[in-house]
Amino acid sequence: MLRPHKGVIGILVSESKGPFPFSENNYCRKLCLIGNKQGMHIYVFCPSSITQDRSTVQGYCYEKGTWNRRSSPLPDILYDRCFSHDRKDQQRKQNALSLLYEKQPFIYLARGLTGKWSVYQVLKKYPDLTLYLPETHKYTGADQLSEWLCTHNGQVFMKPQNGTHGKRTMHIKVSSPQEGLRLIGRDNSNNIFKRKFPSVQEGFEWIHKFIGNRPFLLQTYLNLNSTQGEPFDIRVLMQKNSKGIWEITGRAARVGQKHSLTSNLHGGGSARKALPFLCREFGENGGRNAITVIDHLSRDIPLYLESHFGRLAELGIDFGVDRQGKVWILEVNSKPGRSSFFRIGDYKSARKSIENPIDYARYLLLSKP
């Protein structure tokens, strides 16, 4: 099969049982349209599409307004948008990629991050970031949780080490032994739940069953709510551009439902323009000061993470701002969404968020020795 002279990009995605056999159909369609205009061959495929006996990949190409399944050449660049939620899925994906690499070595657009705990461990090594990182520990059991509640004002935030979209997160609160334990959280379907237990011990038993064998993290509970009681965070999308240089593509405030726990759009949250939202919450000076700190941290974090994890292409960095106006680094995601920009009408950032991965892939191809 003849190879397009400007390169082949394979977008690895998760399988889906929806109207399309793969996830992120809309985003992948836009990537294909942009890449095709630049003379590149772009297709979408799943880990199961890679087989031992083929010198091609059965993928999906977007042509003439529709997806067509066809044999495509092995990729020069691999853009990994495949989400693996357990070790078996992760291992299957890695086995498939190893097989693909044996057939023809390819360039990873980005290597990706390896979980919330490893990211926290790297970031806390940098003295200029420690002030902005909430205290975080691996969860080891009920004794640790009990001690934490005694030393942290009776409150803690718990989240899965490898979770996404705010699923299985919990805010646990103990006012006094007589009042028992209260918690609010989101289940694995991202539905909000509230529980009240007459005793702390009963609450701990329920939490143990809810967690199961999944690795969880304990984190200082922060009041990251608006004056209206809405949880919110600031998402910054950092991407490499056509010159391989990190830049801020855009920012958005993500605002959750009143008195809920998280602000993720997948959990029913909405998006607002970041600066006006922060100025409304903290005044003109407070809002602008928060944005200045957020932008400064956003430019440093990719460099620090890249020095440890290897080449990265894009990062979604989530910041909290507490009621005193202090900025906190909450999470860093190496497979970020970009729907916030469409929702707030920031079409320039939305367009750049899709163009940048293709531009950076082209930069990598042109930089090959």
**Inter-residue contact 170 to 161 (CB < 8 Å):** no
Asked if the structure places residue 3 within a domain, the reply is no
Amino acid identity at 77: I
Confidence label for 258 from pLDDT (cuts 50, 70 and 90): confident
Which CATH number belongs to the domain containing residue 231 in this structure?
3.30.470.20
Do residues 169 and 204 both lie within one domain? yes
Do residues 341 and 294 both lie within one domain? yes
Asked if the structure places residue 68 within a domain, the reply is yes
What are the pLDDT digits (tens) for 55-93? 889 999 999 999 999 999 999 999 999 987 677 888 888
Total number of domains in the chain: 3
Do residues 13 and 148 both lie within one domain? no
**Helix intervals (H) in 48-86:** none
Distance CA 131, CA 128 (A): 7
What are the pLDDT digits (tens) for 157-210? 999 998 787 889 999 999 776 789 999 999 988 888 999 999 999 999 999 999
Distance CA 107, CA 14 (A): 20
φ, ψ dihedrals at 231, nearest 5°: -70, 140
**Inter-residue contact 128 to 300 (CB < 8 Å):** yes
Which CATH number belongs to the domain containing residue 88 in this structure?
3.40.50.20
Q: Could you tell me the two tokens for 196?
A: 């009240």
Do residues 244 and 284 both lie within one domain? yes
Asked if the structure places residue 1 within a domain, the reply is no
Residue 2 in this model has a pLDDT that exceeds 70: no
Asked if the structure places residue 230 within a domain, the reply is yes
Query: Across the chain, what does the average pLDDT equal?
Result: 92
Residue with more model confidence, 249 or 14: 249
Whole-model pTM?
0.93
Distance CA 144, CA 164 (A): 24
DSSP 120-177: HHHHTTSHHHHTTSPPEEE---HHHHHHHHHHTTTEEEEEETT--TTTT-EEEE-S-G
What are the pLDDT digits (tens) for 262-320? 877 776 789 999 999 999 999 999 999 999 999 999 999 999 999 999 999 999 999 99
Asked if the structure places residue 264 within a domain, the reply is yes
Domain that holds residue 104: 8-108
Do residues 324 and 335 both lie within one domain? yes
Domain closes at, from 188, 219, 250: 219
Q: Which residues contact 111 (CB under 8 A, 6 or more apart)?
A: 309, 310, 311, 312
* Sign for the pseudo-dihedral over CA of 97, 266, 350, 37: positive
